[in-house]
Amino acid sequence: MLDVRSIVGLRRLDLDERLRDTVAGSVVMVTGASSGIGAAAARSLGRAGATLLLVARSEDRLQAVAQEIVEAGGSAKVLLTDLADPAATQSLVDGVQRDHGGVDVLVSNAGRSIRRSIELSYGRFHDFQRTIDINYLGAVQLVLGLLPTMREKRRGHIVNVSSLGVLFGAPRFAAYLGSKSAFDAFLRCVAPEVRGDGVAITSIYMPLVRTPMIEATQVYGLLPGLTPDEAAQRVCRAIVERPVCMAPRLARAGCLARDMAPATFERLLESVYRVSDDSAAARGDGDARFEVPRFQFVLEQIGRVTSRLRSQDA
């Protein structure tokens, strides 16, 4: 009899084969490939035979990912770019058009998160500028630069690594989720215009993933999270299946609850806000004592239930 682990193993094998069929010989750009989800996705895509264009700012970390891909028999090129800089992003687009004739798949993954209450944000307009610069404007500029060739060739895929929070909102994430939601809305407007030209757009509403992005917030240690490899699997599945969106099952139920009872849902988020605190990093005082959540037991139980439900999404 097959146990759950062997079923997951078979599904993984199946995905690996289908990924190879989909991307072997294709040019795939992964932004934010120097760390976390982007680095893990780039490794999987490299193993599947894609030519990887690795974009981020940290040269040594990008080179290390590229080297791993090449040593595993794949092909990867490092394209150092600060996507928050419009001139640098334009020169990235121009170089990719010139050297590769565009890309077949764009994994728009580079991003920056800020978790800070609105109360601590009154004097920090720059938080909103720096999240919008990378999570929205940089991502939009890349799409504007790479989409025309995809449409001319009548094939292409844009994969947006978005956040579960975009579906619900979340206290303390106004800057981050404002910018992620803007890109999500942009893509939802563009998708129907380009679908007829063979270009698919997928948004993945990722749950918590254990990457450097969440390290500053201790409370996340109590919640279940995907590994970067598990998150990368979702990116790979999106590339193979080209769905409009991907979200955990629990999130779909959450959307239903939010639509049916918005005031109750908002009260629930208010409770989340009240039992949690700004991190030491967000307060800028290096004092971690407030980060121990007041209802640790409740959080742990929520973690247990969601992790059980999450295993059904794998």
Catalytic residues: 176
Contact range with ligand NAP by CB under 6 A, out of 94-102, 209-217, 259-267, 277-285: 209-217
Q: Which of 22, 27, 205 is nearest to 99 (CA)?
A: 27
279 touches ligand NAP by CB under 6 A: no
By the rule CB under 6 A, 53 interacts with ligand NAP:
no
Q: Do 178 and 276 meet the contact criterion of CB atoms below 8 Å apart? A: no
Is residue 109 within the footprint of ligand NAP (CB under 6 A)?
yes
Residue 235 found at the interface with ligand NAP (CB under 6 A)? no
Task: Answer yes or no whether residue 224 interacts with ligand NAP by CB under 6 A.
Answer: no
Q: What is the DSSP letter of 292?
A: S
Interface with ligand NAP, residue 202, by CB under 6 A: no
282-292 residues labelled b (16+ CB within 10 A) or e (exposed): bbeeeeeeebe
Q: Following DSSP, what letter does each residue of 142-169 receive, concatenated?
A: HHHHHHHHHHHHT-EEEEEEEETHHHH-
Best CA proximity match to 247, nearest among 310, 200, 199, 303:
310
Q: Which is nearer to ligand NAP, 153 or 302 (CB)?
A: 302
Structure tokens at 168: 């619900």
For residue 291, the minimal CB distance to ligand NAP (Å) is 17
Does 84 interact with ligand NAP (rule: CB under 6 A)? yes
- For residue 214, state whether it binds ligand NAP (rule: CB under 6 A): yes
Q: Is residue 247 involved in binding ligand NAP (CB under 6 A)?
A: no
Contact stretch for ligand NAP (CB under 6 A) within 32-40, 121-129, 260-268, 289-297:
32-40
Strands of the sheet containing 105-108, edge to edge, are 75-80, 51-56, 27-31, 105-108, 156-163, 199-206, 245-246
Name the residues that contact ligand NAP, by CB under 6 A. 31-32, 34-38, 56-58, 61, 81-84, 109-113, 134, 161, 163, 206, 208-209, 211-214
